[in-house]
Structure 1
Amino acid sequence: MPDYAIEPARADDAAALLSLYRAVAAIEGGLARGVDEITPDYVGGFLSEALAHGYSLVARLADGSLAGEIHTYPMGPKKFAHVLGELTIAVHPAHQGAGVGRALFRRLMDIVEHERPDILRVELGAQESNARAIAFYESLGFVVEGRMTGRVASVGGGYEADIPMAWLRPAR
């Protein structure tokens, strides 16, 4: 049995999310943003948007600290109201490989599938060099929808493709 609970994030989780995201960004390939880009404004921005219009779920440990977080929300224009995008998941390095990310995704997708029939797509992107993440997303039902050549600046220099992926609600 996991030592964490998957639950909705709260506005007062901002400081814990800042710490979590900085820890994950410190790992090469951990997040698209570098540690210096993980600021209180960045965290406050995605948290307020997710709480107001989308979802932010956390894996909360018994001591109240966070093992992981996932968030997503609609892009804005009404014509995209059936799409959840801007999806980001962060799992603390000490808890990676223990099923936290899968548990966060499963809860999010359970909400979408059973409580949000208006959502037809959930979108995310992965760097082409992150084959592990792409395989993980595919195992959750996401499909590769293309390849955006040269979109992402690589850590070691040069550029690589961003791989757009989506989960599509099955036709009824």
Structure 2
Amino acid sequence: MAITERGSEVSIRTGQIDDAISILDIQRDVITENKYLISEIGECNKTLEKQRIWIQKILDNNRETLIIAEKDEKVIGFIAFESPNRKRLAHTGSFETMIYSDYRGLGIGKMLISELLAWAENNPLIEKVSLGVLSTNNRAISLYKSMGFVEEGRKTKEIKVSENEYADDILMYKFV
């Protein structure tokens, strides 16, 4: 059991196949916000079976992990770390994290990333943890920087948010 920055009890654990529906619900909820993801609402077409296959692929790979945050036995967020299936990139991987909007600002993202970094530091196969974040997601960028991530590149105007509005895709990394 971990305590958030505001005193809430949250459990952090390894993901399981049984988490598929909860993760799918979180993904749909975050995509519906239409703020900080590349995908739009109509593009979330993962089935429960595809979600289970995705989770099993992560669980079967010793260079990947899925970490879950729970509050009162409800899955409220997750972080998924995936590593490329190429020998020269096998020491790297990138993560995505999603948390229900009602649970943001409590330090849960920081807990998930801390758990991921601890896992990566103890995994002799992983040397570099990477991520991509929209330039408009200032809270996330601030969190990543506070945890030692460094900007290594930027894809300028990579995401077209609306007719005349763009966001850069900021690439960040941390060696573990």
Same fold per superposition (TM over 0.5): yes
- Which of 64, 69, 79 is the matching residue for 1:59? 69
> What pairs with 1:1-172 in structure 2 (closer than 5 Å)?
1=3, 2-41=8-47, 43-44=51-52, 46-53=54-61, 54-62=64-72, 64-85=73-94, 87-113=95-121, 115-155=122-162, 157-169=164-176
Relative to structure 2, which stretch is displaced further, 32-41 or 145-154?
32-41
Identity of counterpart residues, as a percentage? 27
CA, structure 1 residues 158+46, in 2 after alignment: closer, same or farther (shift >3 Å)?
farther
Summarize deviations over 1:68-110 as a string: whole Å, max 9, x none: 000011111111110012x110011110001111111111111
Provide the TM-score with structure 2 as the length reference: 0.85
Q: Kindly indicate whether the alpha-carbon contact (under 8 Å) linking 2:133 and 2:171 is maintained by their aligned counterparts in 1.
A: yes
Mapped contact 1:152–1:160 kept (Cα < 8 A): yes
Aligned-CA RMSD value? 1.8
Cα distance, 1:45 vs structure 2: 5.3
Deviation at 1:159, TM superposition (A): 3.0
SS of the residue aligned with 2:78?
Answer: strand
Q: Report if the CA contact (8 A) 1:18-1:39 is conserved.
A: no
Which runs of 5 or more residues in structure 2 are unaligned? none
Question: What TM-score, normalized by structure 1, do the two folds share?
Answer: 0.87
CA distance in 1, matches of 2:111, 2:128: 19
Question: Structure 1 46/143 Cα, relative in aligned 2: closer, same or farther at 3 Å?
Answer: farther
Q: Say which structure is richer in strand.
A: 2
> C-alpha separation between the residues in 1 aligned to 2:174 and 2:53?
25
Count of aligned residue pairs for this structure pair: 166
Indicate how the Cα distance of structure 1 residues 52 and 37 shifts in structure 2: closer, same or farther if over 3 A, else same: farther
Aligned-partner Cα distance in 2 for 1:48–1:157 = 40
